[in-house]
Amino acid sequence: GMEEYHEEWKEMYGKKVQMEILKQEDTKLKKTIAYEGEMLHKSAINAIVKNIANEIKMHNEKVKADAALREVQNAKKLRGESKQLQEDAKELAEMKKEKTEAGAKKKPK
């Protein structure tokens, strides 16, 4: 009877040990999965943050480029306007001169 009892106990103990090992493995696995999940989560967040930062940078660059382009266009426009004003002023001066000369011709001294 003692032998049988011993065998039974060994079997039971063996099962208990196996269960314990499985439990530990399960915990380890769960921890690994949780850790890897966290790492993935962190790297995903980092990637998103990087993306946002890049988009902001690109947006700022575009804003700067647009502003520079506007400056150039404004400068060109102003240059064009100032040229036009100079031409107008020249024309006016010519007209004044002609009028003055015509006036001088009319009045014989």
Q: What is the largest CA-CA distance in the chain?
A: 160
Task: Assess whether pLDDT exceeds 70 at residue 107.
Answer: no
> In whole angstroms, what is the distance from residue 55 CA to residue 49 CA?
10
Residue-wise pLDDT tens digits, 25-81 = 989 989 988 888 888 889 998 999 999 999 999 999 999 999 999 999 999 999 999
Residue-wise pLDDT tens digits, 72-106 = 999 999 999 989 999 999 999 999 998 888 888 77
Reading the block at residue 63, the tokens are: 């804003």
The reported pLDDT for the residue numbered 40 is: 87
Residue-by-residue DSSP string for 86-103:
HHHHHHHHHHHHHHHHHH
Task: Assess whether pLDDT exceeds 70 at residue 109.
Answer: no
> In whole angstroms, what is the distance from residue 78 CA to residue 71 CA?
10
